[in-house]
Amino acid sequence: MSGQPYRLPANVGSGTTGRILDRSRRIAFSFDGKSLSGHPGDTVASALFANGIRLVGRSFKYHRPRGVIGSGADEPNALISVGESGRHEPNQRATQVELYDGLVSKSQNNWPNLKFDIGQINSKFSRLIPAGFYYKTFMWPQSAWMFYEHFIRNAAGLGTAASEPDPDTYEHMHATCDVLVVGGGVAGLAAAQSAAAAGARVMVVDECARLGGLADSSSGLIESSPQTEWVQSTVSTLAAAENVHLMTRTIAAGHYHHNWCLLLERVTDHDPSLAIQGAPRHRLWKVRANQIVMATGALERPLTFANNDRPGVLLASAARIYVNRYGVSPGRRGVVFTNNDDAYQTALDLTRAGVPLARVVDVRTDPRGELVEEARAAGIEVVTGMAVTNVDTVAAGAKIQSVKVAPYKAGSRIGGREERIECDFVAVSGGWNPAVHLYCHTSGKVKFDEDLQSFKPDRSFDQITPVGAANGTYDLDGLISEASNTGAAVAKKAVGSKVKRSKSDRPLASSPKAGKLEPVWFVPATGALNEGNKHFVDFQNDVTAADLELAAREGYRSVEHIKRYTTLGMATDQGKTSNINALGVLTGALQSAIPQIGTTTFRPPYTPISFGAIAGTNAGNRFLVVRRTPPYEWHCENRADFEPIGQWRRPYCYPKPGDSRHDAINREILSVRNEVGLLDASTLGKIELKGPDAAKLLDRVYTNTFSTLKVGKGRYGLMLNEEGFLMDDGVTVRLADDHFLMHTTSGGADRIAGWLEEWLQTEWSDLKVYVTPVTEQWAQFAIAGPNARNVLENLDGDIDFSADSFEFMSMKVGRLTGYPVRAFRISFSGELSYEIATPSNFGHSLWLALLEAGENHGIQAYGTEALHVLRAEKGFIVVGDESDGTVTPLDLGLGWAVSKKKDDYIGKRSLERAYLAAPKRKQLVGLLTQDPQEVLPDGAYAVAELKDKPPMEMIGQVTSAYWSPTVGRSIAMALIKDGRNRLGDVVDFPLDNGKVVKATIVDPVFYDKEGAKQNV
Amino acid sequence: MLMITCPVCGAEGDETDFHCGGQAHISRPASTDPHNVSDDAQRDYLYIRNNPKGLHREMWMCARGCGKWFHAERDTVTLEFKSYYGITESAPPSSSPNPAASKTTKKKSAGR
Amino acid sequence: MSDLQFRSALSHRRDEDLPMDLCVSLDEVSDRAMIDLRGSLDDPKFVAAATAALGVALPAQPRSSSVKGDITVLWMSVDQWLVTTPRGSEQALLSKLVKRLGNTFSFACDVSDARTIIRVSGGDARSVLMKGTSVDLQSPVVKPGWVRRLLFAEVAAACQFVHSDPDTFDVYVFRSYADYVWEWLLAVARKGARVQLYGKQEPPLV
Ligand SMILES: [Zn+2]
């Protein structure tokens, strides 16, 4: 473990350095395999600084060496991978990763290692990688794309995904609040305080581990004391309040319609040991806020000068934050480069902490703000009307040796004498941009502010109010006053509070009076044509000022197009540091002002959120909602091979030891054909309809007639949608004059109940019918096969199952071995078949009783695949197999179930439309392959004429195809153009693999055409 | 995530609690005179919908509350719900009309 | 029904030990039968018949319930109620209802096995349930007797606030979803994952 050579002593000069550090404890961590140490309170970035490590990664496109620029969410460069195996996560900002004992971190985007990176060669050929490089180069020749892609995927990309499953848990949480305050800095806390005092339920969220924002690193006093003292007491008050919820390590990732917000709380990232106690790693909050106060602060922007991306160039605010908060020096000797007063605070703080400062370089000719005077009085050397024009480096660009400084005049080339100043870091400030991202996620519009030279919130349809720096209010007293008033006002809107407020309810503050900022968008380098000098605008996406100018020269005018062409402001960064500077560069290139150019769209999330958090609790065995039928455990115990049918899990087949699926299915089919089988059909949709108009409703929703049905009898019905296409089918039974039981497909149960309700409420509100779904009330089993009656008669009960008493398509209510049942004589297999329904809690037991009763009759449970083959052998359709939302009953040869007498039913008028009534539509037919062993794949296309290669005219497709053990050959059903007139024709099915299957068109009933088997 | 209030039962909820049924007040020609529905009328009924910028009248259903359908007026620009009214009520005259929709509203009763 | 084998939706979980580190208690309430009752409050004959048969007035107020003796009536919609009664008594109650309702436009239907009830109880019950539903269970309207249909863990459910001290909710889920919801609750109810929303808290660092 090495020392921490850049760690500053705790007390130097008049200020405190390393305010939040616990210097009494050391923490061990590693970076690229090197063992290092830091202290509790450190981030990976501050600890790397302390250890003298400046080179933390390589850039996306040119693989240039990069260092830390910022101190928080705005960091575009220092993206690292943290954690190992399943806990490995790439693209974390080192500035936000809190140090913990044993943390393992790695740099990204370099190969074979950070110091020697082969991709750096991209830098040498950078003139060949201009804006739009991907679009221009890799488009041609097309055949080379595979080669290029291989190169790109390896050389570029941001980190790698974890290779192991993630061992952590994640969850969601919902919350409702009157006022959501985003940002726990001075403005956010002041707003929260007044909102809470007005009686509102307030949530305050901040992305950092600590509240207070920049209170410890910005100038000004509150109530004549350092800002952190006021922050401390306010946080204590808010924490003690019943109506306030304070959250740290939580980002407001997105703002959506009607003030719905997504927050990501990082629960264990700072201390993975919490996960052992059951804490989720991340918690995704879905918050509905009546009012939102956006106190997200502002982000400092860098300055655009030659080689401004070298490790050692960092934001002025970050430089003083590292000193004040973390007690680390960004280097041995620095230069401050600025166009505004705020950077003088950095100069003052650094000097106070004993960090040598060579110069403050100010582009302004006559800066006169109070901080400027203070710096001068402190003996800091200030040069004005000058700019840093270039950076000289050693160690292949990884270390700054000196900067060049020359007289600067906006818009002109650099002239005059150039001075070289030795230093190893440059703290830059180009002004501050309000962090308007959240504001813009939904309806918020921004406007350009000349004083700030940036965009600030303008108007929004949503109840979101920006305050403080996020609103462009940087003056401390003004900021507190604005936040405090806003907090009270929005609380009043939300809860109608009548608490009276006076001016004295808010703390008074004072801060140095600032001078005017001078916009600087581009500092030209000296030397001919700026050759070899890159001026970076977007560090994360490696977009330079020259790229933007090129895009403009090539004719791009819209900033949204330029963004996509150059990749500016994309990806995880969302233009936090780059957006305004890019617009500034474009003012020259496009010859228009920033307000006219406009800004690009900020999209959620503000910073990336984990996939785990999005999945939440729905991982592992909770990945999907799973529905179980009453005998589910029996299925499990009997080796059921399950298949998902919607959310249901249904046994597909029951392989015995040594059985293949195919063996099991064939055995199950033959047992139904020869003896008897038992099917769990509990998923079948069941809906009861009751009321004087129940029959009338059925006549309107089915194509056939139900009002004529006798009590105790059932009828098969087809349901169409209004477009005339088949939507559902099933048997409906009349329980009483005004009472019916409708069966729907398994997948249609909920949808059809909703459909009936919709028609009853919106179109036929005069019909008196109550619709009650009862799918879950009943377990239902099919007993099918020649021995079915024997099995049922084996059980005690009061139902006469004999052929004379219990006719086909009828139902009886009674008891079977004590259980209350509804028995139906219906068949989906063509065999003698009954369905027995019993209340679900008896389902498991009745299932066992039926198996026991059938033991001597050869009973076997059969699954959904056997069910499908059995019905296909009989030519029965399945909605969703033979129909796909474009198929009518007439197409399927089900005209017999379509009434010609009724005036109206849903879909009737559409069936008469020319397209649906046309001849030669695709019609349902059977297929027999010429090779009886060949089973066609589902969906295989039939062609009119076979050709060497596509295109070929498609005349239909296979809807179902199976091996039929009953007829001992393959069978299939298909929809073929004019199929019913083509019986006997042979058609070709060219398959994906080049093989062509020939099949003869036949009638779709393959077995027991006369229906003798169920008529016993 | 829109926030919706059911006018029937007063339940408040978001889009996961409600179901949007699309444009309101489209009358079903076959319900009036099933034997005299032109192809054009049937086409309009099935497929022709407005896509207004501004006020839009829609059908919604309180899926996790009372299960009842209702009408809502919603501004498609601000996404604000301007008013709610019963499923069997015709469009309120007070608000600015949705020309295409009101033209096809023939029935007084519920419009699908 | 003594010799009939009754198996509730979560009977297979009965012998399973609950994890020690749950911050709420979880139970299946399987001894309640349920009747789905439909009818119009505007029909005085229906209201009178239902009240007479149940011995308690139908709750007309949305999201409320009424209790008398063994019978609880939960509001489900403006024309729908879920009547719960001890298992074994439902057929008698149903017959009574059907007889009294006569030919009024109404429907009483036995749905005893369609749903099961998961009881979630403890000081953290509200926040545990709020991991799965957007309904604000901390709202002052959530008083004993409060009922609401909602989406819980992406599943259609109904929720009744039974009583406070400790906070106790009955979550009604359709039978087929019971195991999934149970599994889901076990995952979110771990002590280490407790969420305290609002109220006094440790002040965060500054
Ligand atoms: Zn409702």
- If you measure from the C-alpha of residue B13 to the centroid of ligand 1, how many angstroms do you get, rounded to a whole number? 10
Chain A neighbours, 3+ Cβ pairs < 8 A: B, C
Same domain assignment for residues C74 and C38: yes
What CATH number corresponds to the domain at position C104?
3.30.70.1520
- C141/B contact by beta carbon, under 8 A: no
Across the interface, which of B30, B69, B79 has its CB nearest the CB of A761?
B69
Q: Which of A751, A60, A13, A703 is nearest to A379 (CA)?
A: A13
Interchain proximity A461–B80, CB inside 8 Å: yes
Same domain assignment for residues C189 and C121: yes
Task: For the domain covering A11-137, report its CATH number.
Answer: 3.10.20.440
DSSP per residue over B10-60, as a string? --EEETTT-EEEEE-----HHHH-TT---HHHHHHHHH-----SSEEEEEE
- If you measure from the C-alpha of residue B64 to the centroid of ligand 1, how many angstroms do you get, rounded to a whole number? 7
Q: pLDDT digits over A151-185, tens only?
A: 554 444 567 888 899 999 999 999 999 999 999 99
Same domain assignment for residues C25 and C124: yes
Give me the pLDDT at residue A917, please. 86
- If you measure from the C-alpha of residue A956 to the centroid of ligand 1, how many angstroms do you get, rounded to a whole number? 46
* Domain A919-1016, CATH among 2.40.30.110, 1.10.10.10, 3.10.310.30, 1.10.580.10: 2.40.30.110
* Domain A174-298+434-502, CATH among 1.10.1040.10, 2.60.40.10, 3.40.47.10, 3.50.50.60: 3.50.50.60
CB A178 within 8 A of CB A202: yes
The span from the CA of A673 to the CA of A680, in Å, is: 17
Q: Which residue of C has its CA nearest to B1?
A: C134
Interchain proximity B31–A904, CB inside 8 Å: yes
Interface of A with C in 786-845 (CB under 8 A): 818-819, 839-845
- Which of A132-146, A822-836, A839-853 shows the lowest per-residue confidence on average (mean pLDDT)? A132-146
- Residue C4, C-beta contacts closer than 8 angstroms, at least 6 positions apart: A818, A819, A842, A845
Give me the percent of chain A exceeding a pLDDT of 70.
Answer: 93
Q: Which residue has the tokens 């929005």?
A: A490
Interchain proximity C114–A286, CB inside 8 Å: no
Q: pLDDT digits over A294-345, tens only?
A: 999 999 999 999 999 999 999 999 999 999 999 999 999 999 999 999 999 9
Mean pLDDT of A962-966: 98
Which chain A residues are Cβ-neighbours of B31 within 8 angstroms?
763, 904
Mean pLDDT of A667-690: 98
What CATH number corresponds to the domain at position C138?
3.30.1360.120
Give me the pLDDT at residue A15, please. 62
The span from the CA of A749 to the CA of A756, in Å, is: 11
- If you measure from the C-alpha of residue C88 to the centroid of ligand 1, how many angstroms do you get, rounded to a whole number? 33
Across the interface, which of C63, C134, C149 has its CB nearest the CB of B16?
C134
> How many structural domains comprise chain C?
2
Greater confidence (A715 vs A13) lies with A715
Q: Could you tell me how many CB contacts below 8 A there are between chain A and chain C?
A: 183
The span from the CA of B62 to the CA of B68, in Å, is: 5
CB A319 within 8 A of CB A328: no
Which range marks the domain in which residue C72 is found? 32-110
Does C9 fall in a domain?
A: no
Same domain assignment for residues C105 and C39: yes
Give me the pLDDT at residue A121, please. 60
Chain B neighbours, 3+ Cβ pairs < 8 A: A, C
Whether the pLDDT of residue C147 is over 80: the answer is yes
End of a domain among C110, C129, C154? C110
Best mutation target, B12, B62, B64, B69, to test chain C (most C CBs within 10 A): B64
Same domain assignment for residues C105 and C58: yes
Give me the pLDDT at residue B11, please. 96
Give me the pLDDT at residue A61, please. 80
Residue type, A602: F
Interface of A with B in 262-301 (CB under 8 A): 286, 288
Same domain assignment for residues C37 and C26: no
Whether the pLDDT of residue A111 is over 70: the answer is no
- Which of A124-128, A948-952, A1007-1011 shows the lowest per-residue confidence on average (mean pLDDT)? A124-128
Residues of chain A with CATH 3.50.50.60: 174-298+434-502, 305-430+515-526
C193 token code pair: 């994952």
Residue A132 banded pLDDT, cuts 50, 70, 90: low
Q: Which residue of A has its CA nearest to C139?
A: A176
A257 token code pair: 């319609």
Mean pLDDT of A758-775: 97
Residues A305-430+515-526: name the CATH superfamily.
Answer: FAD/NAD(P)-binding domain (3.50.50.60)
Interchain proximity A260–B3, CB inside 8 Å: yes
Give me the pLDDT at residue A703, please. 97
Q: Where are chain B's structural domains?
A: 3-110
Whether the pLDDT of residue C47 is over 80: the answer is yes
Whether the pLDDT of residue A524 is over 50: the answer is yes
Interchain proximity A617–C184, CB inside 8 Å: yes
Give me the pLDDT at residue B103, please. 38
CA C138, C142, C143, C148 dihedral sign is negative
Does C123 fall in a domain?
A: yes
Does C58 fall in a domain?
A: yes
CB-CB neighbours of A165 under 10 Å: 10
Same domain assignment for residues C87 and C41: yes
- Chain B interface residues (partner A, CB cutoff 8 A): 1-3, 14, 21, 28-31, 34-35, 37, 39, 42, 45-46, 59, 61, 67-69, 77-80, 87-88, 109-112
CATH class of the region B3-110: alpha beta
- If you measure from the C-alpha of residue B20 to the centroid of ligand 1, how many angstroms do you get, rounded to a whole number? 13
- Residue C65, C-beta contacts closer than 8 angstroms, at least 6 positions apart: C59, C72, C73, C74, C75, C145, C146, C147, C160
Nearest chain A CA: its distance from C56 CA (Å): 23
- If you measure from the C-alpha of residue A272 to the centroid of ligand 1, how many angstroms do you get, rounded to a whole number? 44
Q: pLDDT digits over A215-251, tens only?
A: 999 999 999 999 999 999 999 999 999 999 999 999 9
Interchain proximity C107–A772, CB inside 8 Å: yes
Give me the pLDDT at residue A924, please. 98
Residues of chain A with CATH 3.10.20.440: 11-137
Q: Which of C106, C45, B62 is nearest to A761 (CA)?
A: B62
Does C3 fall in a domain?
A: no
Best mutation target, C3, C176, C201, to test chain A (most A CBs within 10 A): C176
Q: Which residue has the tokens 């298992």?
A: C87
Which chain B residues are Cβ-neighbours of A257 within 8 angstroms?
1-2, 79
Give me the pLDDT at residue A156, please. 46
Nearest chain B CA: its distance from C206 CA (Å): 33
Across the interface, which of B10, B16, B64 has its CB nearest the CB of C62?
B10
Best mutation target, C61, C135, C152, C155, to test chain B (most B CBs within 10 A): C135
Residue type, C200: K
- If you measure from the C-alpha of residue A762 to the centroid of ligand 1, how many angstroms do you get, rounded to a whole number? 15
Which chain B residues are Cβ-neighbours of C76 within 8 angstroms?
66
Whether the pLDDT of residue A116 is over 70: the answer is no
Best mutation target, A622, A776, A852, to test chain C (most C CBs within 10 A): A776
Interface of C with B in 34-93 (CB under 8 A): 62-63, 76-78, 80
Residue C66 banded pLDDT, cuts 50, 70, 90: very high
Same domain assignment for residues C26 and C38: no
Interchain proximity B34–A913, CB inside 8 Å: no
Q: pLDDT digits over A543-599, tens only?
A: 999 999 999 999 998 888 988 888 888 777 778 888 899 999 998 888 889 988 888
CB B34 within 8 A of CB A908: yes
Same domain assignment for residues C141 and C93: no
Residue A860 banded pLDDT, cuts 50, 70, 90: very high
Q: pLDDT digits over C25-46, tens only?
A: 999 999 999 999 999 999 999 9
Residue B92 banded pLDDT, cuts 50, 70, 90: confident
Antiparallel, parallel or unpaired: β A648-653 and A641-645? antiparallel
Mean pLDDT of A814-830: 96
End of a domain among C110, C142, C166? C110
Q: pLDDT digits over A430-473, tens only?
A: 999 999 999 999 999 999 999 999 999 999 999 999 999 999 99
- C135/B contact by beta carbon, under 8 A: yes
Q: How many residues does chain C have?
A: 206
Residue C143 banded pLDDT, cuts 50, 70, 90: very high
End of a domain among C110, C145, C167? C110
Which chain A residues are Cβ-neighbours of C1 within 8 angstroms?
818
Average pLDDT score over chain A: 92
Which chain B residues are Cβ-neighbours of C142 within 8 angstroms?
none
Same domain assignment for residues C59 and C100: yes
Q: Does the ipTM exceed 0.85?
A: yes
Whether the pLDDT of residue A632 is over 70: the answer is yes
Please report which helix (H) or strand (E) contains residue A676, including its range.
strand A676-680
Does C157 fall in a domain?
A: yes
Q: pLDDT digits over C95-126, tens only?
A: 999 999 999 999 999 999 999 999 999 999 99
Task: For the domain covering A685-871, report its CATH number.
Answer: 3.30.1360.120
Q: Which of A477, A494, A513, A423 is nearest to A195 (CA)?
A: A494
Whether the pLDDT of residue A146 is over 80: the answer is no
Whether the pLDDT of residue B110 is over 70: the answer is no
Same domain assignment for residues C73 and C123: no
